[in-house]
Amino acid sequence: MREGNAISTLERKREAISNLEIDTTAKSQVFISHHTNSSMIGNIISKLENVSTDVNLYDVIYPCIEYTSSQKEHEDFIKRESSRPIGTSRKIRMVFAIANNYEADLIIVANQESVSFQDVLHAYKFIIGESSRLLLNDNRKQKYASYRLPNWGIPVWDNKTVFSHSYSFNISDLNSKYNSNIIASALLITLSKYGSRNCNILIEENDFETKKIRTGTFGDGKSINISDEIVNNDDLLTDFDAGIIITDLADINCQYSPCLTSLFPVTISVTTNNSAIQSINVSASEKFVHPVVLEQFVDLFNAHLKYITENVNFLVTDLLSMSITEELHDNSISEKTNQIPRENSNFDLLETLNSVARRYPNQLAVSDSNNSITYSELNRRSDFIAKKLLSHGINEGVNVVVSLDQTVELILVLVSIVKAGGTYIPVDPNYPIERISFVIDDSSATFVITDLPEVHSMNNINVISSSNLFNDDNNMSLESISLPTHTPSNAYVIYTSGTSGQPKGVLVPSKNIVSLVDATKHEFKLTEKDVWTMFHSASFDFSIWEMWGCLLTGAHLVVVPRQTARSPYDFYDLLIKKNVTILNQTPSAFYALQKVDAEQKSASLSSLRLVIFGGEALDTYKISNWLKRYPVGCCRLVNMYGITETTVHVTYRNILHKDPEFLSKSVGVVLPGWKISIRDASGVPCLYGIEGEIWVGGVGLSNGYLNREKLTNERFVIDSKDGQRWYRSGDLGRMRPDGSIDYLGRIDNQVKLRGFRIELDEIRSVIQKVPYVNDVAIVLHDGDDVQSSQKQIIAFIESFEQVNPDKIRKYLKSKVPEYMIPARIINVSEIPMTINGKIDYKSLMLKVNNPEQEFHGEANNSKDSYLSIWRKVLGHAIEPEDNFFESGGNSLLAVELLSALKKEVNDSLTLRDIYINSSPKALEEFLSKK
């Protein structure tokens, strides 16, 4: 058992152990010996008074003798003196403290890089008279091994912290069977469970005469290897994850600490007396490991010590597969709930919207490039359309697919469906008709509201055009129709990508929308004075937050046309023109917008007060220039983590200019009413710092997948211990002691690109249906070693004949949305496999820059600068007449293309020029005429 378990608070625990502000650069070792024999004390005093004549003062700081008047003063002096580092001095400091009861303590302090433990012990024996001379090693300077930073330590950060503490815990329940190999094995297994891959540890063993150094490793084979060979100190080239320092003392009345500051991210100090273990201390600097994480680490390490000792013939795999609850019997697990009470909150969607309309009747509610309506008009017109929908047969529980352009009319239709009692299913009208048709069939929708002619020709579906809804022909006949008095239980269904190769619909209750706004309203200071944009497609759940977050707080919603959303320059102008205050962006879209802003002489987005990121992982390094241009005091940046199945957002974190690098993966703390847990593969909560699957619970949980009961039961689970319902996200994360979450990517092959959740297997399954394709591997590449700096989807195709990427892209356009079409399509002779039968992605990625076959046309050998720039940005070969956006390009890559063309071709080019003249040949002709 770890010493100090009975202490109730961390502050008390810190007080009981080491909580001293020390020089973190000093690697000071401390030796203390206690004496009660009065004659020996007299001899030591005499020796100390004359020691300066026996040795060179270069070696020993003039000895100090201190008399204390009380036991408390004596203990305080010992504590203070034994924690005072010696810095980088090569001298040995000796202090002798004498209490009035003739008890005394001799304290010897030295820098362990300059003075060995053997030197310290020789100095002690010389002082007590067991040695006639003070013999010190001539070769003083010791080279100590280097270490690597732990990815699980999650050090604390409050923007004021100056790392200056080293924390330690003593293991008190010692076993006489413990030895260096058992300690090393327990440490390696603990490090492995904390996620240290291929971990290495140093084992240093000291006695009076010698120092012995060995190493221990834990490799991919899940086998422990502790070397018997002694390693020369100068040969230690490995970066170690931890170190064990074992010191055999000459006297049971002596104490020794090899370092005041932990020499490694985790240092285990063991003292023995004639090989019998006296103490085990585990320490770490707060710079690397949070003290709460260290406390749990020690508990797990201690459990492994006991298990290995009690099970001599244990199998490493058995211990690795053992769950935390089997090893630990306390509640130190990572699960956080934000249950801030929300008094008098109303969670009825329509009642909340109506109350806003009554409060701000003349406030501008929604606008687009052509129209605008106030809240009273929104209320009146949506009531009228809702009655029309009821007359068509749309009422409680009816699923309605909506595929309309982004306009004021779209917002009116969505609100009207909810008022009629239906559940709306938004589908982008730019999607392939095959995908729209799939959503209609899969959702069992009986109505579709759209102007797409292809849908109007479909059978067994009621199609309503927008003109039918917005004309005033039958006003009189609608007067007798009464609207429902309550909000429908389900508000909407959003379709997301699916691992089976087919999308799946997420059914979301209407109360969840109000809960989301209620949970964020105070934190983000959302008011009727704000101006929001609906930048994202209605089929992407980020738009749910944009639309309802704005309307339920009385603000002005600017609906952004899709063409404007695709042009960062046009969108930038719109933000200035509309005085937008709240902007929601995927990081990819924001990076492009930031480039446009950087081209301006001054910061022009002065009205912007809040930017919320979501949809994909944020690289905080890429927004450092924005933070310089727009300080957080003027424009607040918030990174949010969310999932469609848990109603858009789950956590939030404020981004500060001085955030350290290790916070780049943090997505913050859970929203009020939501709860989050990090679980292992068995569903057991993980310790702080250990990565696992993110489970989400609380008020944001959706009702599951539409018409997919089996999948719903797999992903939405009931915890058998407390009966709570959770959603298993499939995302990897780890939790910090403050409840904040680090997002570490996907467990499966699902990725996020430009805010869209994409199952790479869905793309693979579509390409796999091409007759001459044998096998396919799809990879999301970060772009760090291909021509483009943007993330790209790359398709590797093993086929029976030469693959033409243009034909594959044309085929994909009829099957999947534009954002799912690979930027590069590479023909390979075979898809490489690992020995385990899985795709060898490492070998596959070697073909990115050296493809075996990639489609080349006649012009590919041309030195034409236009083609060269196009190929560089897109990352693959194209023809002179190939359209940029039909060849894998998008609005973000268009900004990159413009930047390159400005530098190498013509600096007067605009983004509009590229959109109009979107092939190399067309742009060249345009410029020649210009």
pLDDT tens-digit map of 670-685: 999 999 999 988 898 9
Residue 74: both structure tokens together: 């004596």
Judgement on whether residues 161 and 40 belong to the same structural domain of the protein: no
Q: Is pLDDT larger for residue 566 or for residue 854?
A: 566
Judged against a pLDDT cut of 80, whether residue 254 lies above it is answered with yes
Domain annotation covers residue 439? yes
Judged against a pLDDT cut of 60, whether residue 349 lies above it is answered with yes
- DSSP-H helix ranges across 553-656: 562-565, 568-577, 587-598, 624-629
- Please tell me the predicted confidence (pLDDT) of residue 9: 30
SS3 label, residue 155? coil
Q: What angle in degrees, to the nearest 10, is found between the helix axes of 865-874 and 891-904?
A: 150
Work out the pLDDT band at 269, boundaries 50, 70, 90. very high
Domain annotation covers residue 674? no
Phi, psi at 725, each rounded to 5°: -95, 135
User: Which residues have a Cβ under 8 Å from the Cβ of 904 and sit 6 or more positions away?
Assistant: 865, 869
Judgement on whether residues 324 and 204 belong to the same structural domain of the protein: yes
Q: Strands across the sheet with 64-67, in order?
A: 64-67, 92-98, 104-111, 28-35, 254-257
Using DSSP bridges, classify how beta strands 674-679 and 666-670 pair: parallel, antiparallel or unpaired: unpaired
Judgement on whether residues 761 and 831 belong to the same structural domain of the protein: yes
Judged against a pLDDT cut of 90, whether residue 606 lies above it is answered with yes
DSSP state, 465?
Answer: -
Report which listed range, 24-33, 215-224, 525-534, 843-852, is most confident.
525-534
As a 3-state breakdown, the chain gives helix, strand, coil percent values, each rounded to 5, of 30, 25, 45
pLDDT tens string 400-410: 999 999 999 99
- DSSP-H helix ranges across 803-846: 805-813, 841-845
- Please tell me the predicted confidence (pLDDT) of residue 260: 86
Using DSSP bridges, classify how beta strands 773-781 and 242-248 pair: parallel, antiparallel or unpaired: unpaired
Judged against a pLDDT cut of 90, whether residue 763 lies above it is answered with no
d(CA 587, CA 754): 7
Phi, psi at 425, each rounded to 5°: -125, 95
Judged against a pLDDT cut of 90, whether residue 11 lies above it is answered with no
Residue 304: both structure tokens together: 């492994």
- The neighbour count for residue 381, using CB atoms within 10 Å, is 18
Q: Is pLDDT larger for residue 322 or for residue 573?
A: 573
Judgement on whether residues 831 and 924 belong to the same structural domain of the protein: no
Judgement on whether residues 784 and 846 belong to the same structural domain of the protein: yes
Judgement on whether residues 379 and 298 belong to the same structural domain of the protein: no
CA distances from residue 97 to 61, 65, 71, 100, 103 in whole angstroms, order as listed: 16, 6, 11, 10, 9
- Please tell me the predicted confidence (pLDDT) of residue 509: 97
| DSSP letter for each residue of 298-364 | HHHHHHHHHHHHH-TT--HHHHHHS-HHHH--S----EEE-----TT----HHHHHHHHHHHSTTSE
- Please tell me the predicted confidence (pLDDT) of residue 224: 87
> Whole-number mean pLDDT of the chain?
83
Q: Which one of 792, 822, 854 terminates a domain?
A: 854
Work out the pLDDT band at 176, boundaries 50, 70, 90. confident
CA proximity to 229, closest of 196, 203, 259: 203
Judgement on whether residues 165 and 214 belong to the same structural domain of the protein: yes
SS3 label, residue 520? helix
pLDDT tens string 799-837: 877 788 888 888 888 888 777 888 888 888 877 765 444
Domain annotation covers residue 266? yes
Phi, psi at 869, each rounded to 5°: -70, -45
pLDDT tens string 35-54: 877 677 777 777 777 765 55
Q: Which one of 837, 854, 871 terminates a domain?
A: 854
Judgement on whether residues 218 and 230 belong to the same structural domain of the protein: yes
Domain annotation covers residue 537? no
CA proximity to 98, closest of 121, 123, 70, 122: 70
Judgement on whether residues 78 and 36 belong to the same structural domain of the protein: yes
CATH code for the domain of 930: 1.10.1200.10
- DSSP-H helix ranges across 364-509: 375-392, 408-420, 433-442, 453-456, 466-470, 475-478
Judgement on whether residues 111 and 86 belong to the same structural domain of the protein: yes
Domain annotation covers residue 16? no
CA distances from residue 228 to 179, 180, 211, 232, 277 in whole angstroms, order as listed: 14, 11, 14, 13, 20
Work out the pLDDT band at 4, boundaries 50, 70, 90. very low
Query: Would you mind telling me the total number of residues written for the chain in this entry?
Result: 930
d(CA 300, CA 860): 60
Among 165-179, 343-357, 528-542, 733-747, whose mean pLDDT is lowest?
343-357
Judgement on whether residues 284 and 318 belong to the same structural domain of the protein: yes
pTM over 0.85: no
Work out the pLDDT band at 668, boundaries 50, 70, 90. very high
- Please tell me the predicted confidence (pLDDT) of residue 833: 60
Say which amino acid occupies 345. S
Domain annotation covers residue 174? yes
pLDDT tens string 437-463: 999 999 999 999 999 999 988 878 999
Judged against a pLDDT cut of 50, whether residue 128 lies above it is answered with yes
d(CA 169, CA 182): 19
CB 5 within 8 Å of CB 171: no
d(CA 639, CA 90): 49
- φ/ψ region of 501 (left if φ > 0, alpha if ψ in -120 to 50, else beta) reads left
User: Which residues have a Cβ under 8 Å from the Cβ of 502 and sit 6 or more positions away?
Assistant: 438, 442, 762
- Largest distance between two CA atoms of the chain: 116
CA proximity to 491, closest of 466, 470, 462, 517: 517
d(CA 30, CA 86): 10
Judged against a pLDDT cut of 80, whether residue 202 lies above it is answered with yes
CA proximity to 27, closest of 137, 116, 97: 116
pLDDT tens string 506-556: 999 999 999 999 999 999 999 999 999 999 999 999 999 999 999 999 999
CB 894 within 8 Å of CB 922: no
Phi, psi at 223, each rounded to 5°: -120, 140
Work out the pLDDT band at 380, boundaries 50, 70, 90. very high
- Please tell me the predicted confidence (pLDDT) of residue 634: 92
Domain annotation covers residue 549? no
- Residue 337, strand partner residues: 675
pLDDT tens string 312-323: 888 888 888 887
CA proximity to 523, closest of 553, 548, 551, 543: 553
Judged against a pLDDT cut of 70, whether residue 784 lies above it is answered with no
CATH code for the domain of 846: 3.30.300.30
pLDDT tens string 904-924: 888 888 888 888 888 888 888
Judgement on whether residues 242 and 180 belong to the same structural domain of the protein: yes
Residue 815: both structure tokens together: 């099957």
Range of the domain at 905: 856-930
CA distances from residue 524 to 129, 610, 685 in whole angstroms, order as listed: 71, 8, 31
Work out the pLDDT band at 280, boundaries 50, 70, 90. very high
Say which amino acid occupies 512. N
Q: Which one of 486, 509, 538 terminates a domain?
A: 486
Domain annotation covers residue 133? no
Judged against a pLDDT cut of 60, whether residue 863 lies above it is answered with no
- Please tell me the predicted confidence (pLDDT) of residue 786: 43
d(CA 322, CA 647): 34
Q: How many domains does the chain have?
A: 5
CATH code for the domain of 397: 3.40.50.980
CA proximity to 226, closest of 173, 180, 178, 175: 180
- Please tell me the predicted confidence (pLDDT) of residue 319: 83
Q: Buried b vs exposed e over 868-889: b needs ≥16 C-beta within 10 Å?
A: ebbbebbbbbbbbebebbbbbb
- Please tell me the predicted confidence (pLDDT) of residue 150: 87
- Please tell me the predicted confidence (pLDDT) of residue 374: 98
Judged against a pLDDT cut of 90, whether residue 368 lies above it is answered with yes
